[in-house]
Every structure is written in C-alpha cells, then in structure tokens.
Amino acid sequence: MSSIEPRQSAAGPQQPAGQPDQPAGQPAQPNPPVRVTRSRRSALWAGIAAIAAVIILAYLPYIVYSATTNLLVNFFMLLIMASMWNLLAGYAGLVSVGQQAFVGLGAYFVLLLAIHGANPFVAIPAATALCGIVGLPVWWLVSRLRSGYFAITMWVIASVCELIISQFSSLGGGTGMALPGLNLSPALLTADTYWATLTVTVIVLAAVYLLLRSRLGLVLTAIRDDETGARSIGARVGRTQRTVFLVAAAGCGAAGALYVISQLAVDPGSAFSVLWTAKMIFITIIGGIGTIEGPFIGTIVFFVLQQTLSQYGTWYFIILGLVAMAVAIWAPRGLWGLISDRLGIRIFPVGYWLWPATERERPARGLALLRRG
Amino acid sequence: MIWVNAIIQGILVGGLYALFACGLSLMFGVMKVINLAHGDLAVVAGYFALGIIAVTHTHAISSFVHVPVGVSYALVVPVFAVVGYVVQRTLLQAALNRGVLTTLLVTFGLSVVIENGLQQFFSANSHSLSIGSLVSDSFGIGSQITIAYLDVSILAVAVAVLLGLQYFLSSSKYGRLIRAVADDREAAQLAGVDYRHVFGIAAAIAFGTVALAGLAFGMYTQFNPTIGTDQLLLFAFEAVVIGGLGSLWGTLAGGILLGVAQQIGAQYNAADQVLAGQLLFLLVLVIRPQGLTSRRETA
Amino acid sequence: MSVGAGSGPLLEVRDLTVHHGQLEALHGVSLSLPAGAVHAMIGANGAGKSTLLRTIAGLHKPTSGSILLDGTDVTGLRPERRVTAGIVLVPEGRRLFPTLTVQENLLVGSDSARPGPWTIDGVYDLFGWMADRRSQRAAQLSGGEQQAVAIGRALVANPRVLLLDELSLGLAPVVVRRIYDLLPRLLGSGVTVLLVEQDVSQALHVASRIHCLLEGRTTLEGAPAELTAEQIEGAYFGLRNGGNGAPGGGSGSGSGSTPGAAAVGPTDGAGSTGAGA
C-alpha cells in the first residue's frame, strides 16, 4: 500500500491541506507543479479529536464505575500489544509468535522489583527498559532466521523463559504469587492502574506514530512494501529491524507490567501464555496490518466480540480466529484497509500526499489564513 | 547406569519425536510452510480415535460386530491423510497464493481455533488411549534398565514409517515429483507438474504421519487440548532443527538427540526435562543452524 | 509472414501486453510461428524476451492479448496444462532439479508427456554422454551438460512448440555451437522452435525469422537474409537513425515509437518467480 498517491475523493474537488506546522513541500516537476504535504485536513481533525479523547479518558475514573475503567485497562493493554506486533510484522516484516515472552518478562520484572521494595507503578518504566535490554541477546539469537523459523524460535524462547521463571520459588514458582507493594484503597488502586495504563498507552502510541513519521519509519514503510527492494537501495534493513524488535520488546514488556498490576498477581502460565500473541495477531490482522489505525479497529472488534459472546465460553476466540484467517486470505489489508480505500482517509499522517496544484483547489476557509505558500 | 537408562529412554522417545517431526519437515521442505497447527493435528487425531472407539462401542454397533480397538486406530490415519489433502488444496493453497506471511498466520489461526474448539467440546481434561496390556508390560536389561514394550513398539513403528517414507520419496513417481517440486516449483510446472496436487499429496502424508504420531503419543502418555502447542509442535520443530532439514535420517537423529537431552535434563530435575531439550535446540541454532546432518543452509 | 499450407500458424501470439506489477514488460507484441520453423527473439537485456516466452508458457498472465496453439486459445491454461497441450519451455538458467539425478529429471519431464517420437532413450541417443551419467545428481553437471539435460527434459514431453530461453547463457561458445547443431534433428522430429538468444549472430545463423524486441515492443521482424546489420543494430538499441519500420512487414513494429538511447527497460522476467498462472 503506497502512501504516496494523489487522492481525489469521490466527494468532489479536494481541499488542500497544508498544515500550519508542517512543511508544504517543494514542487517537484515543472509541468504540472506538484506539492508534497505530510497530511490532509482529515488528519488535523483527527489530531484534535485524539487530544480531546485523551482528556476525556483521563477524567473517566471520576465519572464511571471501576468495571468500566478495568475494561478499558484491558482494552489499552491489548492496543499496546497489537500496535507492537503490527510494528514488528506489518512494518519490519518480522512475524513473531513469541511476543508473550516479553509480556511475561515485563510482568515478572515488576514483580521482582516489587518484591525488593519498589512501588510497582514506578517499576513500570524500569520493567519496560529491562525488556528492551533483554531483547538484545534475543535478537542476536534470532536475527538470522527466516520467517517461519523466526516465528517458531520466538515461541520456543517464550517457552524457555516460562520454564526458567517457573523454577524460581522466590517468584512464586509454577503457581505464581501475588504482587506486593500496593497498599492502596481499592478505588484509588483501580484509578491509579487506569491512569498508569492510559499514560503508557499514550506514550506508546505517540512513540509508534513518531517512529513511523521519522526517517526510520520511511525505511520501515519501504521494508513493508518490498523488503528485497529496500535492501537493494541501501536501506539499513537489519539495523532497522533490530530497532523495531527492541521497541516491540519494550512495548510488550510495558503491557506485561500493566498486566501484573491490573491482576495484582501473576503466574507463569498466564503471563507467558501464547494467547497474548494470538490476540495480538488476530487484532492486527482483522484491523489492518501495516497501518497505524489497524490495531485500533482490531481491538474494538475484539472487545465487541468478547463482550457479546463471553457467556459462551471461548467461542468468541474461535470466531475471532476464523475471522482472522478469512481476513488474512481475502482482505489482507484488514478492515482499516477496506475503509481507507473507500474513503481515502488516513487518520495518522505518516505518509506523504501529492497535490497537483490546479485551479480546482479551493483554499480552506479560515485555514487559508494560517497557510503560507 | 541411571544415565544409560536415561539415554535409552531418550532414544525410545526420540523415535516418536521423529515421527512428529517428519510431517512438519515434509511440509516445510516442499511448500516452505511451517504448519503451526501441526501439533494440534496430533491431538485432534487422539480425540478422533477416542470418538471412533466410543462410537464403535455403542450398543448399536457393537451388537453387530466387535470392532477391535486396533481397527479403530487404523482408521484414523487414512482419514487424516484425506483431510490433509483437502485442507491443503483449499485453505492452505489459498493462503500460499497470498504469501508466506499469510500462510503462517492462517496456520496459527487454525491452531488457536482447533485448541479452543477442543476445549469447548472436550473440556480441558486429559485423556489417553488405551492399548490393553501393552502399556504396562516391560522387560529388563540388567538390574537397572527397564524398557517398556510400548516404547519399543513405538520406536519400531516410527523407524518403519521413516523407512517407508524414505523409500517412497526416493523410488516412487510421486516421491520424485515431491522432490522436484520441493527443489524448484516453477521448473516443475514447466515440466508439466500440477504442483498444487503434489502439495496435496505432501500434506496428506504430513497429516497422516502426525495422526499416527498423535495416536502413539496418546498411548504413551496423556494428552489435552493445549498440549499440541505446549509441547508437540515445539518438540517437532526442535527435532527438525537439531537434525537438519532435508533428510529423514537427520530427522530421526534430531528426534533421538532431543529425547536424550530431555531425559538427561530430567535426571537433574524433573522440571528441567523440556527445558533441556530447548536449550539444546538453541545451542544448535547458534552453532550450526542448518542442523547436524543437513548440507544446505536452511535457516 | 508465411502461413502453413492452409492450416494457419502453429503458434500465434496476438497483441500481447504483460505487466509485472505496475511495470509494463510487453506491449502489443504479436508473432506468428508456422509449424517446423525456427524463430528467434533478439533484443537487449530487459527488452521483454524472456517475459514473452514465460507468458507463452503460462507463467505470467497477460493483461491483454491472446496466445493460440494451432488455432486453439490457450491463454487461460495453467502452465502444466500447456505442457500437455504441446508448449514446453526450457527456462533461462536451465532450472534442473538439483537434488534429482539426470534420469529422474528426465522422468519428471516424461510424466506429462504427449504421445510422440521422443523417449528418454531417445534423449540418451541424442546426447551420447548422458546415459553414462544418468545416476548423477543434476547439480554436479557442468553448465553445458545441464543445458543438454534441460533440453532433454523438455523433449521427452514431446512438445509441438519448444521454447528455448537463452541457451547460450554462461556456456562456452563451442558448447553452444554443439547444442545448436542439434536443432535440425529436433525440427526433423516435428518440433517447432521459438528461441530467445542474446548472441545475435547465433540467432541469425540458426533462425528462419528474427524478431527484435526493445522495451517490450517489436522493433524489427524479418528473415535474416532480408535484414541489414544497420537495421538490426538500430532495432536492437533503439537508435533513431536505424531501425524504424520493418522490411518484410510485421505486426507491431515500433516505428515512431522507438525512444532515444536505450533507457532502462522493464525487466524481462529473468529471475522472477511466478506463482503459477
């Protein structure tokens, strides 16, 4: 999916979007003149909406029951994990079926630090960083492996992590243990957990967005579209993949840290369960792999399915799996791909828009004042 | 002598692992696909066998004819082979047409769906397959080595299957076609080979052997819905990597080495059994990723 | 354009346009191959020659245009079906099955054979040395030997139209000569040949008609005797002075559309892995 394409929406002549804070680009060809911008007006509205949403979300604990905030905590956790898997597979071309390794490690790092007296909330960034560091030797192990081998080896590594941690009775052994260090009232605990989750989510998503907007992101998009082609033009594929791998390790670690805090207990089986990866994969595929918006949509779909079908046991998961398989084969760009194609919108402006400067462009009212050629 | 016993046990279970691995290896060698649902198929075979036995022992049927348990088991393998062909020609071919990523995802989805489906219908409890007196009888060598007849039988079956497969691949028409398609799919097309049909045959063989392995596993120990991915898939893959792709004897060697490593690990600590095998796997991956017997670079 | 005695050409390509993704590899290419003839495609790298052969063999789906074998439209047939219909390609780079023996390579070729004069033993007759090496793995043969086995693998299928892609690639001239010297025997057994050849003089020596491609378009067509060196050069490189128009008439000659000095053309499919038509 190329981000560089002229877009004429079906609704008629386009409003040009020159964002006030973004460079309007340089005209490239003499005939017709072409303008390059980073985003369209839809992105500006989306940006405003996102900030508003975050503000509203931050106030939620004052307004709604803890059941809702707990639900949102799970939602955000999954969103983080799906965004990480999307980054790995959709952009860097690394299909990992073992990200649960880092989820579990993140949870256990927090546990470890809490056992030694740290406040679990404070331990979140530490656990995140530690997972990123652990990612280095893991990358060294797997970086040469091709896709199928890479996928399963990550799974084996997750299994190894689980088995090793189960051996430490100080960490609860095979049955797990409760998380110490959180002596707050239940209401405050729920709210704090929620705010911590919200903060981490915003940070992670902002990081993903900035990453993809950067030069690194350009390389990633090149890899996403054609890895061999990217190598052949000299893109540093290996180093870029390593960076993404470490970021994904850290991100999944952060999600794991949030997990143990939200559960107040952890056991190896749940922390290192392959179901984490299953959820990441299904969400990303259904939502739209290789797009930032995809994981959002996928997580929403996941939650809707889970809430409506939860009384039927794990049926929602089975259906999710079947839908993911069908989407992978018949709609490989996922739901967001379908929507984006129809409406020609991108919410997160990480690509480049090409504008033919014809007379058909009408300056957007009001915004014209802000625009400087 | 405890170590000798461990090694012998490792060899015996290694045959079973090799049986698991050969289907995975075949599908990867021919179609370049790692079937992440491979382990789960073995578990399905186990449940399927239980189902057949249950059905044939219902009064309606058993009043007509006594179907020995062995026949029920024997039905499972050809059924799975046919299922394998169908699944390959439909689902997996559609995914393959899209690419390697899609195929990986589809087999993963299949794995999750199968496991959750089994849990829905059969609960998370463990089951095993009965084989009458065979399970407990054993013989001894010296005073410290005990070998169960079942284990030896499974090893014998595994070796026989591998031998048969080797013969099939080297001497039969379809074996030749499978090797040709594995070497160069496009050139095979240009020589008039319908590679989708050949893929189907390979998948049929893979499904059939993994079903057999699943039955053996069910007799050897207990199975539950999630053991396909908890253990079986990883063991099969580890055996393939340790032994090397491209040679069935490599797969057997890999299975045996894995089994031995596990048994040695178990001598230290019962919890270390699986871990020991995985550490060996990682070691081989670092030192000699193409495996012990393979000449080609595969990873 | 010579037409067979009342029965039309054996192989006909009509106005073929082929894309690799968004890149146009062939544009409106047509050719007509009568039974028993040898036609040669020449052209620079990237001109589309291999793409043309691969499309005729079924590995690429054309965007538009059609391919007819003896009057029957085969454009929709999968590659393996075209083999049984009588179109067999010996691909660029030989593409033997490296882990299979010589004998096994030939066996694979004969599995989908049409009835006809060629058998594995016949191939062993054609290449005297091959029978002794029949149990050797294909990967252990030299380039020239591999080329022979590749041709043999195609022959045992008893093709009506044999497509040869860059036989001479990577082979010593002596070896190439020897292989081309066999062509009369192939023709004598009822095989019609369409070949792609980098070596223009070799093509002129062997073929009864030459097609020149440049950037996916036919720039020249005619019998070797009718074409001058300047015409061929001009058509090959696309120079404005030479190569406009085609004596002897030919469909799709790129007069007026030959661009300036040879720009980088679309890839002609060398090395691309078709996922099956």
pLDDT, tens only, B155-173: 999 999 999 999 999 999 9
Check residue C243 and give its pLDDT: 43
Task: Compute the mean pLDDT over every residue in chain B, rounded to the nearest whole number.
Answer: 87
In A68-195, at which residue ranges do the beta strands (DSSP E only) sit? 177-178
With CA atoms as reference, the chain B residue closest to C80 would be B192
At residue A215 the predicted structure's pLDDT band, cuts being 50, 70 and 90, is confident
Identity of the residue numbered C255: S
Report whether pLDDT(A44) > 50.
yes
Tell me, yes or no, whether C4 lies in a domain: no
Q: Which of A294-298, C210-214, C261-265 has the lowest mean pLDDT?
A: C261-265
pLDDT, tens only, B62-96: 667 766 767 777 889 999 999 999 999 999 999 99
Determine the distance in angstroms separating the CA of B113 from the nearest CA of chain A, rounded to an integer.
5
The reply to whether A82 and A9 lie within a common domain is: no
Tell me, yes or no, whether C263 lies in a domain: no
Tell me which residue has tokens 């915004």: A367
Q: What's chain B's Rg over C-alpha atoms?
A: 19
Tell me, yes or no, whether C220 lies in a domain: yes
HSE-up (13 A, CA, CB side) for residue B269: 9
Residues of B at the A interface (Cβ-Cβ below 8 Å)? Answer: 28, 32-34, 36, 91, 94-95, 98, 100-102, 104-106, 108-110, 112-113, 116-117, 119-120, 229, 233-234, 237-238, 241, 269, 271-272, 274-275, 278-279, 281-282, 285-286, 289, 298-299
Q: Which residue has the higher pLDDT, B18 or A311?
A: B18
Tell me, yes or no, whether C269 lies in a domain: no
pLDDT, tens only, C103-127: 999 999 999 889 999 999 999 998 8
At residue B294 the predicted structure's pLDDT band, cuts being 50, 70 and 90, is low
Tell me, yes or no, whether A340 lies in a domain: no
Q: Which residue has the higher pLDDT, C129 or A373?
A: C129
The reply to whether A360 and A286 lie within a common domain is: no
Q: Which of A108-117, A314-323, A360-369, B228-237 has the lowest mean pLDDT?
A: A360-369
The reply to whether A73 and A21 lie within a common domain is: no
The DSSP-derived string for B13-42 is HHHHHHHHHHHHHHHHHHH----TTHHHHH
* Interchain CB distance below 8 Å, B108 and A281: yes
CA A348 vs CA A45, A80, A366: distances in Å: 10, 16, 22
Tell me, yes or no, whether A244 lies in a domain: yes
Check residue A229 and give its pLDDT: 75
Tell me, yes or no, whether A5 lies in a domain: yes
Chains that touch B (3 or more CB pairs under 8 A): A, C
Tell me, yes or no, whether B49 lies in a domain: yes
From the list A97, A149, A329, the residue facing B95 with the nearest CB is: A329
* Interchain CB distance below 8 Å, C79 and B190: yes
Tell me B143's DSSP state: T
Domain region containing B215 = 2-287
Determine the distance in angstroms separating the CA of C113 from the nearest CA of chain B, rounded to an integer.
8
> How far apart are the C-alpha atoms of B234 and B231, rounded to whole Å?
5
Domain CATH for C35: 3.40.50.300
At residue C274 the predicted structure's pLDDT band, cuts being 50, 70 and 90, is very low
Check residue A340 and give its pLDDT: 78
- Those residues with Cβ within 8 angstroms of residue B186's Cβ, 6 or more apart along the chain or in another chain: C59, C91, C95, C273, C274, C276
Instruction: Provide the domain count of chain C.
Output: 1
Tell me, yes or no, whether C52 lies in a domain: yes
Report whether pLDDT(A37) > 80.
no
Tell me which residue has tokens 């056992």: A115
Contact A327, A319 (CB under 8 A): no
Tell me C10's DSSP state: S
Check residue C270 and give its pLDDT: 40
> How far apart are the C-alpha atoms of C265 and C270, rounded to whole Å?
13
CA B247 vs CA B24, B26, B75, C99: distances in Å: 12, 10, 28, 12
Domain region containing C222 = 11-97+159-237
The model's pTM? 0.83
From the list B97, B179, B192, the residue facing C80 with the nearest CB is: B192
Domain region containing A18 = 1-38+352-373
Please list every residue in chain C whose beta carbon sits closer than 8 Å to the beta carbon of residue B173.
Answer: 107, 111
Report whether pLDDT(A192) > 70.
yes
The reply to whether A223 and A358 lie within a common domain is: no
Please list every residue in chain C whose beta carbon sits closer than 8 Å to the beta carbon of residue B183.
Answer: 97-100
Q: Which of A226-240, B257-271, C20-34 has the lowest mean pLDDT?
A: A226-240
At residue C268 the predicted structure's pLDDT band, cuts being 50, 70 and 90, is very low
Tell me, yes or no, whether B232 lies in a domain: yes
Asked if B192 reaches chain C (Cβ–Cβ under 8 Å), the answer is yes
Measure CA B247 to chain center.
Answer: 15
Domain CATH for B124: 1.10.3470
Report whether pLDDT(A370) > 50.
no
Tell me, yes or no, whether B101 lies in a domain: yes
pLDDT, tens only, A309-364: 878 778 888 998 999 999 999 988 888 888 877 776 666 656 555 555 443 333 33
Tell me, yes or no, whether C137 lies in a domain: no
Asked if B191 reaches chain C (Cβ–Cβ under 8 Å), the answer is yes
Determine the distance in angstroms separating the CA of A343 from the nearest CA of chain B, rounded to an integer.
25
At residue A7 the predicted structure's pLDDT band, cuts being 50, 70 and 90, is very low
Task: Compute the mean pLDDT over every residue in chain C, rounded to the nearest whole number.
Answer: 83
C64 beta partners: C17
Check residue C273 and give its pLDDT: 41
Report whether pLDDT(A20) > 50.
no
Chains that touch C (3 or more CB pairs under 8 A): B
Determine the distance in angstroms separating the CA of A145 from the nearest CA of chain B, rounded to an integer.
5
Please list every residue in chain A whose beta carbon sits closer than 8 Å to the beta carbon of residue B36.
Answer: 97, 151-152
* Interchain CB distance below 8 Å, B180 and C100: yes
Please list every residue in chain A whose beta carbon sits closer than 8 Å to the beta carbon of residue B120.
Answer: 313-315, 318
Identity of the residue numbered C192: T
* Interchain CB distance below 8 Å, A152 and B34: yes
At residue B248 the predicted structure's pLDDT band, cuts being 50, 70 and 90, is confident
Chains that touch A (3 or more CB pairs under 8 A): B
Structure tokens that stand for A115 in this block: 């056992």
> How far apart are the C-alpha atoms of A326 and A345, rounded to whole Å?
24
Q: Which residue has the higher pLDDT, A65 or B39?
A: B39
With CA atoms as reference, the chain B residue closest to A323 would be B109
Check residue B1 and give its pLDDT: 63
Q: Which of A255-259, B58-62, C98-102 has the lowest mean pLDDT?
A: B58-62
The reply to whether A223 and A367 lie within a common domain is: no
Residue of B209, B215, B218 lying closest to B236 (CA atoms)? B209
HSE-up (13 A, CA, CB side) for residue C48: 30
Check residue B155 and give its pLDDT: 92
Asked if B75 reaches chain C (Cβ–Cβ under 8 Å), the answer is no
Residue of C159, C15, C164 lying closest to C82 (CA atoms)? C159
* Helices and strands in chain B, H and E counts: 14, 2
Contact B195, C276 (CB under 8 A): yes
At residue A228 the predicted structure's pLDDT band, cuts being 50, 70 and 90, is confident
Check residue A34 and give its pLDDT: 65
Phi–psi pair at A362, nearest 5 degrees: -105, 130
Residue of A215, A134, B192 lying closest to C83 (CA atoms)? B192
Instruction: Provide the domain count of chain B.
Output: 1
Please list every residue in chain A whose beta carbon sits closer than 8 Å to the beta carbon of residue B281.
Answer: 156
Tell me, yes or no, whether B292 lies in a domain: no
Identity of the residue numbered B286: V
Identity of the residue numbered B123: S
Residue of A206, A234, A237, A232 lying closest to A221 (CA atoms)? A237
Tell me, yes or no, whether B130 lies in a domain: yes
Contact C231, C76 (CB under 8 A): no
C29 beta partners: C16
The reply to whether A124 and A157 lie within a common domain is: yes
The highest-confidence range among A56-70, C13-27, C225-239, by mean pLDDT, is C13-27
Tell me, yes or no, whether A12 lies in a domain: yes
At residue B136 the predicted structure's pLDDT band, cuts being 50, 70 and 90, is low
Q: Which residue has the higher pLDDT, A373 or B81?
A: B81
Please list every residue in chain B whose beta carbon sits closer than 8 Å to the beta carbon of residue C100.
Answer: 176, 179-180, 183
Check residue A32 and give its pLDDT: 59
Tell me, yes or no, whether C2 lies in a domain: no
* Interchain CB distance below 8 Å, A285 and B105: yes
Instruction: Provide the domain count of chain A.
Output: 2
The reply to whether A136 and A174 lie within a common domain is: yes
* Interchain CB distance below 8 Å, B176 and C108: yes
Check residue A371 and give its pLDDT: 35
Measure CA B105 to chain center.
Answer: 20
The reply to whether A15 and A72 lie within a common domain is: no
Tell me, yes or no, whether B298 lies in a domain: no
Instruction: Pick the residue of A289, A329, A330 with the most B CBs within 10 A to test the interface with B by mutation.
Output: A329
Check residue A355 and give its pLDDT: 57
Tell me C139's DSSP state: G
Asked if B296 reaches chain C (Cβ–Cβ under 8 Å), the answer is no
Please list every residue in chain A whose beta carbon sits closer than 8 Å to the beta carbon of residue B108.
Answer: 97, 278, 281
Asked if B184 reaches chain C (Cβ–Cβ under 8 Å), the answer is yes
Report whether pLDDT(A116) > 60.
yes
Mark A227-250 as b/e (b = at least 16 C-beta within 10 Å). eeebeeeebebeebbbbbbbbbbb
Q: What's chain A's Rg over C-alpha atoms?
A: 22
Instruction: Pick the residue of A143, A318, A322 with the most B CBs within 10 A to test the interface with B by mutation.
Output: A318
Phi–psi pair at A27, nearest 5 degrees: -65, 135
Tell me, yes or no, whether C223 lies in a domain: yes
pLDDT, tens only, C147-166: 999 999 999 999 999 999 99
